[in-house]
Amino acid sequence: MASMNISLPDPMRDYVQGRIDDGHYASVSDYVRALIRQDQSGIEDEKRWLGELDASIAESLAEMSADGGIDLDRACDAALAEIGTTGGPSRR
């Protein structure tokens, strides 16, 4: 296993030592490894979310290109017209 040296300001060093003393981590190395795993997991979650978003956008664009879906302006106009006929607020 490789070693790395890092420098921390005293308050950060004290914080890490406190986490170890409280039993949350076995050592400074354990603490740093946990932070790296958390960062890696967050990056993977973000990549997965962005991939799903891209796929959803592509699907929506394909549907709209095939004359599917609903035009937002028409949908809003219809909803506002319906609200206006039931005594709700109108768009004027």
Q: Which of 7-16, 46-55, 66-75, 81-90 has the lowest mean pLDDT?
A: 81-90
The tokens for 38 are 């958390």
What's the rounded Cα separation, in Å, for the pair 76 and 72? 6
Could you give the maximum distance between any two Cα atoms of the chain, in Å? 72
DSSP-derived letter for residue 91 is -
Confidence of residue 68 (pLDDT cuts 50, 70, 90): confident
What are residue 74's phi and psi, to 5 degrees?
A: -65, -40
The H helix count followed by the E strand count for the chain is 3, 0
Task: Report the predicted TM-score, pTM, of the whole model to 2 decimal places.
Answer: 0.60
